[in-house]
Amino acid sequence: MKNLILLVTFLVVTINVTTAQESVASLMDKALSEAVESDKHVMVKFEASWCGWCHRMTKQLKDPAIASYIEENYVLLPIVVFENGDNIKLENPGSRELITSYKGASAGLPFWVILDASGTIITTSFNEKGDNLGCPASKDEVASFIKKLKATSNLTADNEALITKIFTKS
């Protein structure tokens, strides 16, 4: 009986350890180190499993037509936040505090910020009116997104056209 209790305890601890998400502090340290080494900016994207717009933006950022541009200019750092119920375990510890520190807690998802390699905010997903662009889809949203990319990367006219095509909702 004692061995059974030890085995069950071991399994519970092992399962909890293997399903625990990496902390925001650890993820941020890795992303900033990579940004320093590769001379890139960090694009932190807050997302949740239930967020369709988050999944759409992830798919768009990974689109083969622009993936090399994204990879050459940014370290992508997805942070899981605002999960509910059983999915709360998917959240990265510290995610709610981090999104709050960027003033994005009530902005909606996805919410993103672009940081320099030292961790200083260069821009956020707030547009000129203070609204969250989230996953840009309208022509105006995509134009605002393009301005932010131009300010934080080496965006060519070809990449701009591809990003506009991929992100503009038809």
Q: Does residue 112 fall inside a structural domain?
A: yes
Q: Tens of pLDDT along 47-80?
A: 999 999 999 999 999 999 999 999 999 999 999 9
Q: Indicate whether this model's pTM tops 0.85.
A: yes
Under 8 Å between Cβ of 129 and 108? no
Is residue 2, in this structure, part of any structural domain at all? Answer: no
Q: Is residue 12 part of a domain?
A: no
* DSSP code of residue 63: -
CB-based contact 142:155 (threshold 8 Å): no
- Across the chain, mean pLDDT equals 91
Q: Would residue 19 count as lying in a domain?
A: no
Rounded distance, CA 138 to CA 149, Å? 16
Domain count, the chain: 1
Phi and psi at 25, nearest 5°, equal -60, -45
Note whether residue 9 is domain-resident. Answer: no
Domain-embedded: residue 91: yes
How far from each other are the two terminal CA atoms of the chain, in whole angstroms?
A: 63
Residue 6 confidence (pLDDT): 44
Residue 136 domain boundaries: 24-167
Is residue 10 in some structural domain? Answer: no
> pLDDT digits over 39-53, tens only?
999 999 999 999 999
Write the CATH number for 107. Answer: 3.40.30.10
State the pLDDT confidence band at 1, using cuts at 50, 70 and 90.
low
Domain presence at residue 117: yes
Q: What values do phi and psi take at 169, rounded to 5?
A: -70, 130
